[in-house]
Structure 1
Amino acid sequence: MNFYVASGFANKVQVQYVTQKLQSRGYNLTYDWTRNQRATSEEELSRIGKLEKEAVLNCDFFILLLPGGKGSHTELGMALALEKRVYIYSADIIDKTTASAFYYVHGVERFYGEIDDFVEMIGLT
């Protein structure tokens, strides 16, 4: 089963941790964006955008680790449009005043708490 993890650059270590845990359970990552540096040219942005788009297309389930930036929320929109299973993780309860309405549409599972409990929950579904 294939997965993709979206988040902001500030969460790079947490993305790598979740990825490693899921891969150790036999899941396949569709693209590891954490190996990238911040893009500084149109060519880099185009190349990375294409790879990330393909990664969302090819995943069976999509993970958003909050907080995320504009790119991760664009990817969330793609995953929802493609009717992928979506899991959203936040260390704390999501603040409804700043949350996206798309966090609450059908097909999205939200989780807050310990990251290891989140990974365990994904492994059981």
Structure 2
Amino acid sequence: MGAMVARFLPNPCPLRPAPNCAKIRLSSAEMGHHAETPFDNIESSHEYVSLLAEATAEALLDVEADIALADADGATRRREALQVVSFNLTKLKSQMSSSRRILNDLRTLRRLLLDERHSQQALHVTPEK
């Protein structure tokens, strides 16, 4: 674990190269474990962003209900604070939607490129005589 952290730390003395740089830059596979994250591939990133978009939409509905309650109670400062929260959640929802579309486009382009690559390889294969 120390090597994983050290990989991201800057060299404390930029005039001298860091010793054992090759040892510090060990990949997680070389260290005997593979950390799976939501961003290992486009599909899992798309799924993660979609879940985050759903959670953002749910939170936005909750905040809108809280705004209505604060308005009914006459809690002006609370209502204004909740409106700022609503504004930021709306921005986040829009960004998640945009990210989801971008990931979908990347997935489509990757499939297109991979299919073209397989088609080109099939054309270059000569039949055996």
Q: Identify the TM-score tier after normalising by the shorter chain.
A: under 0.3
TM-score, normalisation: structure 2: 0.24
Q: Give 1 or 2: higher helix fraction.
A: 2
Q: Give 1 or 2: higher strand fraction.
A: 1
TM-score, normalisation: structure 1: 0.25
Higher relative contact order (CA 8 A, sep 6+): 1
